[in-house]
Amino acid sequence: MSIELRCDHSATQHRAGPGPTRQRGCAVGDGFAITRSDLSLQARVPGIERDAFGQIADKAKSGCPVSKLLNATISLDWALA
């Protein structure tokens, strides 16, 4: 996800790391496909308001090129440390 880049552009000092992720797949034709990805993120961003970080996280989720490539349902749980 592009959360690191988006935090860089918002001029914040930050530390974000991925938490556990879970992907689900199913049989499609002769193969398999990833149909869902549940992401978890813990971030430490001094001085940022919760709502402001939420907007950054939402934009990162919706604009992530890998998420778009998967063409799957993506969920994101995030928390500020």
What is the tens place of the pLDDT at every residue in 8-41?
544 444 445 555 667 777 888 888 888 888 888 8
Report the CATH number that the domain containing residue 23 is assigned in CATH.
3.30.300.20
For residue 68, give its domain range: 3-80
Helices (H), the chain: 3-9, 50-63, 65-70
Q: Are 80 and 43 in contact (CB under 8 A)?
A: yes
Predicted local distance difference test score (pLDDT) of residue 9: 45
Distance CA 71, CA 33 (A): 10
Report, as an integer, the average pLDDT of 54-63.
Answer: 87
Tell me how many domains the chain contains. Answer: 1
Q: What percent of the chain has pLDDT over 90?
A: 7
Question: pTM score, two decimals?
Answer: 0.64
Q: What is the mean pLDDT of the chain?
A: 76
pLDDT at 79 over 70: yes
